[in-house]
Structure 1
Amino acid sequence: MPADIKNDVILLTCASGMQCSQLIPLLYGNWKHIRLAVNSASSEEFLKVKYPEADVVRGDMADAHDARRFLSGVIVVIYIGPSKSNESQIGFTMINAAQHEFKYGQLKHFIYSSVLHPHLQKLRNHRNKQHVEEFLIDSGLPYTIVQPSHILDSFPIALLLNAERSIFPVMFDIHTKFSFTILKDLAEALGKIILEREKHYFAQYMICSTGPTAYADIISILQDEIGRPIQIKPLDFLESGEFRKEAVSDTDSLPHSIRDAIQRLSLVYNIYGLKGNSNVLEWLLGRKPTTVREYIHRRILYSKKS
C-alpha cells in the first residue's frame, strides 16, 4: 500500500537532535501528521514554536508506557536512539512498543537510524546499535536500517569563518580517513524510504556521502574556499576525550560508562578512522551525493547571508 501523505502519522524520535534538523523541514508542510518525540521541556517548547502544526510529545523512551504513547496511531516511525549507556535497552523498549502497535494498531514501517559498521566490537556505541539492529531484525516488524557515518555538518565552518584567527582543534590524526554523511543527503534518503515504503522493507543501507576523506583534505578545501590559512591544533588523547565529552554533556557529572566510551571511540577513530562507500546512497538519491567541496561552499554562502 503506498504512503498517504495526508493521513499517515509519522513519528520522529530524538526530534531536537542533529539528524532531525534537516529531516523535519523536508517533511513538514508536505506530510500532514508529524509527531516529534523529545525528552526535555526545553526541546518540547523549542519545537512547538518552530513547528506549530506538528504534534510534539515529551517523555522517556526507556519507559514502556511512554513508548506506547509515542507510537499510538503511528504508521511510520523513524527511530533515532539517544547516545546513552542504556541505548540498547531503550531500543528494545521502543521495538516492543512498535510490535504492539503493529499487532493491534496501524504501524507499517519501522525505520532505524543506526551507525556505519555497527559490528565494530571495539566501539561501545556501535555495539549498542548492533544489538538494537539484531532485536529489530528478529522482531517480525517490517523494517529498514540506515547506517550513517561521521556527520560532516558538525564541522565548525561558521566558527572558523567568523573567528579572527581560524584555529581548528583536531581530535584525530588529520591523515586518518573517514567517510562522511551530510545531513541533507541523509534527510533526502529517509524521505524517499518513507514515501516508497515497501520497496525498502528488510533493507540495510550504508549512508555515506563521501568516500574515505581525511580531515587534512577538508581543511585544505576550506582554506581554498575562504582564502586564508587555518591553524590546526592537534589534541592529545585526554584532551580529545574532554572535547567530545563537552559536545554531549553540559555537566561535569558524565557517567563513567559514557566517559569510557568517548575515550575508546577517540582512540579507535584516531587509528582506524571509519570508512564506507557512497554507491548505495547514490542509488537511493538517484543522484551523486554531495561532495565535501559542494557542502563547504553551500555552508559558506549560508553563513554570509545569515
Structure 2
Amino acid sequence: MVLVTGASGQVGKHLLQVLSARGISARAWIHSKRNEEAVLAAGAKEVYIGDLNAREAAVKAMEGSDTVYFICNTANPREDEIGAQLIETAKEIGGITFIYHSVLHFLLSDMPHHKRKQGVEKTLADSGIPYVIIQPTVFMQMLTPAIQSVKHGGPFVQKFYTSDQTKMTYVDMADYAEAAAEIIASGAYLYGTYEFCSEGAYSLTDMEAIFSELAGRKVTSAFISDADFLANAHKAPDSYEGQTLLTMFRHYNANSFCGNAFTLTQILGRKPVTIREYLKNALQG
C-alpha cells in the first residue's frame, strides 16, 4: 500500500491515477472530507482524513503501508518540520520506503520553499531508511492561465519572463506521475535522487513563437503584476505563501531555471512530452 500525502492536489491526483492504472493500491491522505470523492475518483483505494501536522495522524495513516509518498502543499511554511516528523514516524514503524516530492535545484536557498525542501532532503538522507528523492522542474500545467488566454484570442499571460535572457525548463505532470509510478513499482531506484525535466530551455521569444505557430496568429506576452498574481492565487499580499511565490518568480526572472531530460527519459523509456507537444494538445482540447 502506497500512502500519498497531499493527494487532493494536482500532483497527487495525477499520481493516484497512474498508480491505479498499474494496479498499485494507494491510500490518499487528505485534510478535509470534501476532497474524499475527488481522490476516490482519481483511483485511491482507501482514504485517510487527518491533519498532516499531527504525529498521531501520521501513525494511523501509515498503518499497513510499505511506501510513503510525501507531497507537501506549495509554499508550506512548515514543510521541513512536517517532513522530519513523517520521516521519524516511518523510521519508528519500520519497513517503509519514503519517497519525497522535492524540487529541481533544491540548493537555491534564496527561495524559501527550496530551503525548506533542502532541510527535508538532508533529514531523509541522514535517516537510514530506504528513500527516493524526486526533483521536478516547473510543471507545464502552471501555464494553464496562459493557454486559456491564448485560446480566447489573448496574449501569453505569464510571470516567468521579464526579459529574453531568462530560460525555463518544464515538465508535464503526466510524465512526472508515470515516472514516479515506475519508481514505486520497480524498486530499483532506492537511495537515488532524480531530476524530472522535459527537453529544452525556453526563452520568452521561444514561447511566443510556439504559441504563435500553434494559434495561427502572432501571440505576444503580457506580464502579470504581483498584485494581480496574488489576487488570482487568493493569497494575501503579506502572507508567507504569497511572498514565497513572488520570490520564486523573481528568481526565475533574474536567473532562469533549467534542467536536463536525461534522467526522466531513462525512467520513462521514451522522450518526455515537449512543451510544444503539451501546448498543442492543450490548445486543441
When the two structures are superposed, what TM-score results if normalisation uses the length of structure 1? Answer: 0.85
TM-aligned CA distance change 1:94 to 1:208, over 3 Å: same
Tell me, what secondary structure is at the counterpart of 1:155? Answer: helix
Q: Structure 2 CA distance, aligned partners of 1:186 and 1:21?
A: 12
Q: Distance in 2 between matches of 1:161 and 1:169?
A: 8
Aligned ranges 1:98-113 → 2 under 5 Å: 98-102=90-94, 106-107=95-96, 109-113=97-101
**Other-structure match for 1:144:** 132
Q: Is the 8 A contact 1:174 1:216 kept in 2?
A: no
CA distance in 2, matches of 1:255, 1:68: 34
Equivalent positions of 1:52-201 (< 5 A) are 54-83=45-74, 84-102=76-94, 106-107=95-96, 109-156=97-144, 158-163=147-152, 165-171=153-159, 172-173=161-162, 175=164, 176-197=166-187, 199-201=188-190
**Paired residue for 2:226, among 221, 226, 240?**
240
Q: Is the 8 A contact 2:51 2:57 kept in 1?
A: yes
Q: Which consecutive residues of structure 2, in runs of 5 or more, have no partner in the other structure?
A: none
Kept after mapping to 2: 8 A contact 1:38/1:57? yes
Q: Distance in 2 between matches of 1:291 and 1:52?
A: 26
Cross-structure match for 2:22: 30
Of residues 278, 287, 300, the one that matches 2:270 is 287
Which position in structure 2 is the counterpart of 1:202? 191
Question: Quick check: 2:13–2:39 contact (8 Å CA) kept in 1?
Answer: no
- Contact 1:73/1:101 (CA < 8 Å) preserved in 2? no
Could you list the structure 1 runs, at least 4 aligned residues long, displaced by more than 4 angstroms after superposition.
none
Could you tell me which residue of structure 2 aligns to residue 271 of structure 1?
A: 254
Taking the aligned partners of 2:163 and 2:71, their CA distance within structure 1 comes to 29
Root mean square deviation of aligned Cα: 2.1
TM superposition shift of 1:58? 1.4
Distance 1:142 1:214 in 2: 39
Distance 2:200 2:220 in 1: 25
SS at 2:134 equivalent: strand
CA pair 51-187 structure 1, distance change in 2 beyond 3 A? closer
Contact 2:87 2:127 in 1 (8 A): yes
CA offset digits 1:11-35 (Å, max 9, x no partner): 1111111212322211114325210
1:261 pairs with one of 227, 244, 247: 244
Asked if the contact 1:150–1:179 (Cα under 8 Å) also holds between the matched residues in 2, the reply is yes
The size of the alignment, in residue pairs, is 281
SS at match of 1:200: coil
Cα distance in 2, alignment partners of residues 158 and 263 from structure 1: 21
Q: Is the 8 A contact 2:156 2:219 kept in 1?
A: yes
TM-score scaled by length of structure 2: 0.90
Once the two structures are overlaid, the 10-residue window that deviates more, 24-33 or 116-125, is: 24-33
Partner of 1:218, secondary structure, is helix
Q: Secondary structure at the match of 1:36?
A: strand
Structure 1, gaps ≥5 residues long:
1-8
